[in-house]
Amino acid sequence: MPHARACGTPRAPSGDAAGSGAPYTTPTGGAAESRPMSTYRDLTAPIGSRRAPVLRTVGTRERRSHLTAPRVPTVGIDIGGTKVMAGVVDADGNILEKLRTETPDKSKSPKVVEDTIVELVLDLSDRHDVHAVGIGAAGWVDADRNRVLFAPHLSWRNEPLRDRLSERLSVPVLVDNDANAAAWAEWRFGAGRGEDHLVMITLGTGIGGAILEDGQVKRGKYGVAGEFGHMQVVPGGHRCPCGNRGCWEQYSSGNALVREARELAAADSPVAYGIIEHVKGSISDITGPMITELAREGDAMCVELLQDIGQWLGVGIANLAAALDPSCFVIGGGVSAADDLLIGPARDAFKRQLTGRGYRPEARIVRAQLGPEAGMVGAADLARLVARRFRRAKRRRVERHERYGRYAEARRAAREAL
Ligand SMILES: [Zn+2]
């Protein structure tokens, strides 16, 4: 429930007191307690006062389930390391329109990224009714889903993104981690439909992850649950950019795949002749999609490399099954394009490593269905949970709002100068 989630936040005490506590401590509530049966009066009074906190939190908190959210189109934005993808998505997960642009460079200020997002939303709202905006960001989002605590590819450091954007766009904004958004999309419209305990693993350059239980994303106390990529699987193994050694993503990710292929090619191994020929000797040109493509064509080394990655994937999944016991693992991200070349070995390794194997039901391991748009679709669908039925981000409304902001600022400055 939203109230429960808001508990650790600075705003919670006032919100909570007015929300769940207040109706039962008011004089009306006290009087209702002494009566044996409910009457018209004690039914109406608490309902009226229970509504108030909902109005107060409009636009800031997730307050509905996806079943009761308004069936309105919303904008989803996926901010990755290289691309920003924005799209208008309807209540059934169909993409009505999609825009793409480059992610502003890490050296640019947070304001530049904000401007990019606002531009994209305004552009889309010229042609669509936009009732809310959802953002899936590659970074750590706090438990209140307002601040981006850290984003490796952007200049955001403890950035209050949601408040900044909802003020500028005058529609409700929701911010979440990109893996959470992708998992939500797969659960709602993709490979994880009908699963009430689902774990998503995204294999990109690293490993991202998310946990979904009973239709809710599990974010942990501080909002950063699901960082499976940095579980240690090999003590003293490869060094990871996070500072530790032997992290899972050093063995099962796009980076691991490319590193292994380049190592073999650099050592001029006979098994690597196929790929060396493919890149005409320029080893730094070897990429993940290239390895997948060569493996499909039957290149023995590329098949073996994907098997290795898949096997490590299965080992990690067995660990996760021991801890979380979901019914389904959805494998997404760029590397999952290798499909059975990767997921086959992962299933085998999972079966060999699973604790209690033979005596427990085994989780399914499936490939994600929504592809690179999953994050965007998920962010848009999550935004419907905070969407207003009638508010729209219209360019004129936003411009008026910003003009008023400048006017108020100028007046304040003039008053201070006096
Ligand atoms: Zn690590």
**Which H helix or E strand runs over 295?**
helix 288-296
Query: Edge-to-edge strands of the sheet including 140-141?
Result: 140-141, 148-150, 157-159
CA–centroid distance, residue 47 to ligand 1 (Å) = 50
**pLDDT by residue (tens digit) across 80-97?**
878 899 999 999 999 999
Contact 338, 305 (CB under 8 A): no
CA atoms of 378 and 380, how far apart (whole Å): 5
Q: What separation in Å is there between the alpha carbon of 74 and the centre of ligand 1?
A: 35
Output the six-digit token pair for 341: 């070349």
Is the per-residue pLDDT at 8 higher than 80?
no
Dihedral angle computed from the Cα positions of residues 192, 193, 195 and 197, in that order, rounded to the nearest 10 degrees: 50
Tokens coding 264? 């073999």
Q: 247 CA distance to ligand 1 centroid (A)? A: 5
Q: Which of 182, 179, 189 is nearest to 209 (CA)?
A: 179
> Directed axis angle between helix 110-125 and helix 395-417, to 10°?
140
Strands 95-102, 83-89: pairing is antiparallel
Residue 386 CA to residue 92 CA, distance in Å, equals 17
pLDDT (average), residues 275-293: 93
Query: What is the pLDDT at residue 49?
Result: 44
Task: For residue 205, report the distance from its CA to the centre of ligand 1, in Å.
Answer: 12
- The confidence band for 396, taking pLDDT boundaries of 50, 70 and 90, is low
Confidence band, pLDDT 50/70/90 cuts, at residue 67: confident
Structure tokens at 224: 């950063």
Contact 46, 37 (CB under 8 A): no
* pLDDT band for position 62 (cuts 50, 70, 90): low
Span from the CA of 313 to the centroid of ligand 1 (angstroms): 15
pLDDT at 151: 83
What separation in Å is there between the alpha carbon of 378 and the centre of ligand 1? 26
Instruction: Give residue 19 CA to ligand 1 midpoint distance, Å.
Output: 41
How does residue 290 score in pLDDT terms, banded at 50, 70 and 90?
Answer: very high
CA 121 to chain centre: 19
Q: How far apart are CA 141 and CA 145, in angstroms?
A: 6
Kindly give the distance from the C-alpha atom of residue 2 to the centroid of ligand 1, in angstroms, as a whole number: 32
* Separation of alpha carbons 134 and 353, rounded Å: 38
The model's pLDDT over 303-349, given as tens digits with 9 standing for 90+, comes to: 999 999 999 999 999 999 999 999 999 999 999 999 999 999 999 99
Structure tokens at 46: 């608490």
pLDDT score recorded for residue 59: 41
Q: Are 77 and 383 in contact (CB under 8 A)?
A: no
**Cβ atoms of 92 and 380 closer than 8 Å:** no
264 CA → ligand 1 middle, Å: 23
For the record, the structure tokens of 25 come out as 């401590």
3-16 average pLDDT score: 40
User: Ligand 1: distance of its center to the CA of 329 in Å?
Assistant: 21
pLDDT band at 143 (very low <50, low <70, confident <90, very high): confident
| CA separation for the pair 381, 217 (Å, rounded) | 13
Question: Of the candidates 99, 143, 74, 158, which has an alpha carbon nearest to the alpha carbon of residue 389?
Answer: 74
Q: What mean pLDDT is reported for the chain?
A: 83
